Amino acid sequence: MLERVASPSPVAGPRWLLDPRTADEDGVVGAGADLEAPTLVAAYRNGVFPWPHEGLPLLWFSPDPRAVIDPRGIHVSRSLRARLRTCGWTTTMDRDLPGVMAACAERDDTWITPAMRRAYHRLWDLGWARSLEVWEDGHLVGGVYGVQVGAVLTGESMFHRRTDASKVALVDLCSRLAAAGGGLLDVQLPTPHLRSLGAVTVPREEFLATLALLRDRPCRPVAGELPVRRLVATRVPAGRGAAA
């Protein structure tokens, strides 16, 4: 029987009310609060996430529009398909969130503060935070982490130490989510990198309605080590070109 990620542990009710419908034109819902597990779980269940900015109180966001990827509609280009076929990498889920977060924070302008790392490590211990690791001969070469509420996973950051390793992480994460009944990968804000993988933007109200439908749906992806070569057969969505 395949090993699956842990079910999340119950958390207490939050002390803070973070209502996405109060967001300003920049998507800011509020400032302050804390990074305790009940606050974070309630925030993600309501489509809100923290984004620290140096010199300011902790800011909470719910952007409009919101960038999302349908796990069944991930786009795999010809060059990425070749990488999957030949790289020999493997992946795991929830094996090393601390390592993934540390790698994501290896940049001069990182917003992944020590307080953020401690908070998400705690969420990981409780079964709410998720990580997807890409391995090459036992070395961590790519990955992504985020928070899962029901059948929605919100990606927070990704990294790569080999060409295409972050893309492989996202494709693998979508495959595991889709196979477990996951309904949505929330990537928060659009970037050219994410658009190349199939990300689209939807109005905040549409995102919140979808989140409300999916946030209590059970979804426990496979956690064990799998070869990325299995992803070569991932389809290109209708209407999308296969060029790199």
Task: Please give the Cα distance from 1 to 198 (Å, whole number).
Answer: 32
Residue 242 has pLDDT above 60, yes or no: no
115 & 41 share domain: no
71 & 57 share domain: no
What count of Cα atoms within 13 Å lies in the side-chain half-sphere of residue 240? 18
CATH number of the domain bearing residue 49: 3.30.70.3550
152 & 55 share domain: no
Q: Which residue has the higher pLDDT, 236 or 137?
A: 137
214 & 129 share domain: yes
Structure tokens at 192: 């050219």
Residue 13 has pLDDT above 90, yes or no: yes
Beta carbons of 132 and 93 less than 8 angstroms apart = yes
> Under DSSP, is residue 121 helix (H, G, I), strand (E, B) or coil?
helix
Cβ neighbours of residue 147 under 8 Å, at least 6 residues apart?
Answer: 40, 41, 44, 49, 120, 123, 128, 129, 130, 153, 154, 156
Structure tokens at 27: 């998507």
42 & 73 share domain: no
Residue ranges making up the domain that contains 136: 66-233
71 & 53 share domain: no
User: Could you tell me if residue 10 is inside a domain?
Assistant: no
* Banded model confidence at residue 233, pLDDT cuts 50, 70, 90: confident
CATH number of the domain bearing residue 84: 3.40.630.70
| 36, 61, 86 - which closes a domain | 61
* Banded model confidence at residue 235, pLDDT cuts 50, 70, 90: low
User: Could you tell me if residue 137 is inside a domain?
Assistant: yes
Give the pLDDT of residue 108.
86
72 & 46 share domain: no
User: Could you tell me if residue 73 is inside a domain?
Assistant: yes
What global pTM score does this model have? 0.94
* Closest by Cα among 232, 25, 44, 73 to 148: 44
Q: Write the pLDDT tens digit of every residue in 32-85.
A: 999 999 999 999 999 999 999 999 999 999 999 999 999 999 999 999 999 999
Sign of CA dihedral 197, 142, 163, 83: negative
Percent of the chain at pLDDT exceeding 70: 95
| 7, 29, 61 - which closes a domain | 61
46 & 141 share domain: no
Task: Please give the Cα distance from 33 to 60 (Å, whole number).
Answer: 9
95 & 55 share domain: no
147 & 54 share domain: no
User: Could you tell me if residue 120 is inside a domain?
Assistant: yes
User: Could you tell me if residue 171 is inside a domain?
Assistant: yes
Beta carbons of 151 and 32 less than 8 angstroms apart = no
Task: Please give the Cα distance from 115 to 37 (Å, whole number).
Answer: 12
Structure tokens at 198: 């199939």
Number of domains in the chain: 2
Structure tokens at 13: 């009710």
56 & 103 share domain: no
107 & 30 share domain: no
Give the pLDDT of residue 240.
38
User: Could you tell me if residue 168 is inside a domain?
Assistant: yes
User: Could you tell me if residue 206 is inside a domain?
Assistant: yes
Q: What is the average pLDDT across 162-183?
A: 98
Average pLDDT of the chain is 94
Q: What is the average pLDDT across 199-213?
A: 98
User: Could you tell me if residue 243 is inside a domain?
Assistant: no
